[in-house]
Amino acid sequence: MVKVFPFEGILYNKKKLKKVDKVFTPPYDVISPEDQAYFYKVHDFNFIRLILGQEFASDSEYNNKYVRSAAFLDGWLRHEILIKDEKPAFYVYEQRFKVAGKKYTRIGFFALLRLEDMGRGKVFPHEETHSRAKLDRLQLMRASSANLESIFSLYNDEKAKITKVLKNFTRRKAIYESVDRAKVSHRIWRIDRKPSITKITKEMRDKTVFIADGHHRYEAALRFKNELKMKNTKFSEEEAYNHVLMYFTPLDDKGLLILPIHRVLRNLVYFDPVRFEKQLAEFYEIKAYKASKKSAASVRKKLMRDLAKLGIEKHVFGLYLGQQRYYLLTLKDEKIVEELVEEEKPKAWKRLDTTILHYTVFESILGIAQETEDKLIYIKDDEEAIKLVDEKGCQMAFLLNPTKIEEVTAIASKLEKMPQKSTFFYPKLLSGLVFNKIDPGEKIKL
């Protein structure tokens, strides 16, 4: 059973801040070093200081980025730069954005979720996690006693019962309205009426929850809970630290987008393009696209259109080998891949484009592992992928269709993990809109 709870959110105090747009950031794990430097400069109270602190050579056990984050948080609360809401609420979150010229709106809500081991109840992951990243978020939780950023999750709301409640509250004036550097609009509202809170809580009980982004934060929260549980001989599950901040959005929301992550290859030793094309023909039907320097951009766009159209029913990839050589690859037979995959994996996993590309090309033809970072670059923009080949000495670019949401849920439901870099949910959640402070002595119940 999924148990969600309203909470007394912590928000920026608009009475103290004139330029609230300047204090929010993307999630910590998509912030580059250049972005980190930008957010540090843009505002003294930017949320970057809490989620991704600067590191110094003189850092020690007692003076490091986690300690400084906790100090900033305490100071901002004390001086009311951040303020805590007076009563528990859910928080509606709406994002408006454009992709390829088309307008989208995505709606969801923030709530506390009672923690459960992933895959043992109703919460399912779809990504592998790494110990270093988990430890980083755990150390931040230990220092701050807070869920500073939300986990991004999906649930089924086919009859739109919860969505209707959320939309009723969007008629009010928003707490915040902010537009980020990617031109995505963000707005949030409080759901503070008891009947609405009760309705959402009851509707969520029978739902299955799939984690889209934030696997490391979820596992860090589990470990944080277990550490405190060991010290508590009267653990009841209602403890505040047995909950984590989560954003929920419907699986069938039209604004739920997954963007593709393309693959660019480099540092291939003894690579023979002629031989490579012959080897590809064992697995794929190959269609060449004629292009010149002048027509390259329009040819690439046509290739991407064909890729999307054919990808509805077939496994297809775009391939760029430099010097305006574009190709469309169509898999001849799915059974070939099933024979190549030795592990016991669900059919849905074996039929992922990322799985197919890895086993037919990277492993069988090129003899490289998917985790070989010196040979593989993951990139979200197809034009940038082509530039890496034309301008940066990379040898080829594979252009992919996005993973389908039904593929994610099918694999997660089988307690299986997606191959590396299979999904990019867009847009990311804006960090700093609302978060949760954990009082170890507090109980959370309706």
pLDDT for the residue numbered 445: 77
How far is it, in rounded angstroms, from Cα 425 to Cα 152? 9
Q: Are 253 and 348 part of one and the same domain? A: no
Distance from C-alpha of 24 to C-alpha of 47, rounded to nearest angstrom: 6
- How many independent structural domains does the chain possess? 2
| C-alpha span between 108 and 388 (Å, rounded) | 37
Look up residue 446 and give its two tokens: 């309706």
- The verdict on 51 and 144 lying in the same domain is yes
For residues 193 and 53, membership in a common domain is answered with yes
**Residues spanned by the domain of 29:** 4-257+426-437
Q: What is the dihedral of CA 115, 29, 433, 229, to 10 degrees?
A: 20
Q: How confident is the model at residue 386 (pLDDT cuts 50, 70, 90)?
A: very high
Q: Which residues pair with 264 in a beta bridge?
A: 377, 397
3-state secondary structure of 379: strand
pLDDT in tens, 218-259: 999 999 999 999 999 899 999 999 999 999 999 999 999 999
Query: Do 71 and 206 belong together in one domain?
Result: yes
Query: Are 168 and 304 in a shared domain?
Result: no
Cβ(220)–Cβ(141) below 8 Å: yes
What DSSP line would sit under 105-125, residue for residue?
Answer: EEEEEEEEEE---TTTSSEE-
Report the pLDDT value the prediction gives residue 441, as an integer from 0 to 100.
Answer: 85
Angle among Cα 321, 327, 332 to the nearest 5 degrees reads: 120
Mean pLDDT (the chain) is 94
**Region 285-311 average pLDDT:** 95
pLDDT band at 26 (very low <50, low <70, confident <90, very high): very high
The pLDDT of residue 374: 83
Residues 221 and 265 in one domain: no
pLDDT at 369 > cutoff 80: no
pLDDT at 76: 98
Question: Is pLDDT of 337 > 90?
Answer: no
Report CA-CA distances (Å) from 193 to 162, 166, 197. 14, 12, 6
pLDDT of 330 over the 90 cut: yes
Give the lowest-confidence range in 200-204, 322-326, 417-421: 417-421
Domain-located, residue 413: no
Residue 423 pLDDT greater than 90, yes or no: yes
pLDDT exceeds 80 at position 370: no
- What's the token pair of residue 36? 């980190």
- Does 418 map to a domain? no
Where do we find the tokens 């389908």?
A: 404
CB contact burial 90-113 (16+ within 10 A = b; e otherwise): bbbbbbbbeeeeeebebbbbbbbb
| Structural domain contains residue 376 | yes
Residues 225 and 356 in one domain: no
Averaged pLDDT for residues 264-289: 92
Same domain, 150 and 23: yes
Residue with the larger pLDDT of the pair 65 and 129 = 65
145 and 280 belong to one structural domain? no
Is 407 among the domain residues?
no
User: Full-prediction pTM beyond 0.85?
Assistant: yes
Q: How confident is the model at residue 45 (pLDDT cuts 50, 70, 90)?
A: very high
Is 414 part of any domain? no
Please report the pLDDT score of residue 373 as a whole number.
67
Q: Is residue 406 part of a domain?
A: no
Residue 371 scores a pLDDT above 70: no
**What gap in Å lies between CA 440 and CA 417, rounded to an integer?**
32
DSSP 8-state secondary structure symbol assigned to residue 359:
I
The proportion of the chain whose per-residue pLDDT surpasses 70, expressed as a percent, equals 99
206 belongs to a structural domain: yes
Same domain, 202 and 272: no
* Residue 105 is assigned to a structural domain of this protein: yes
Q: What is the pLDDT of residue 271?
A: 85
Q: Are 58 and 206 members of one domain?
A: yes
Judgement on whether residues 252 and 265 belong to the same structural domain of the protein: no
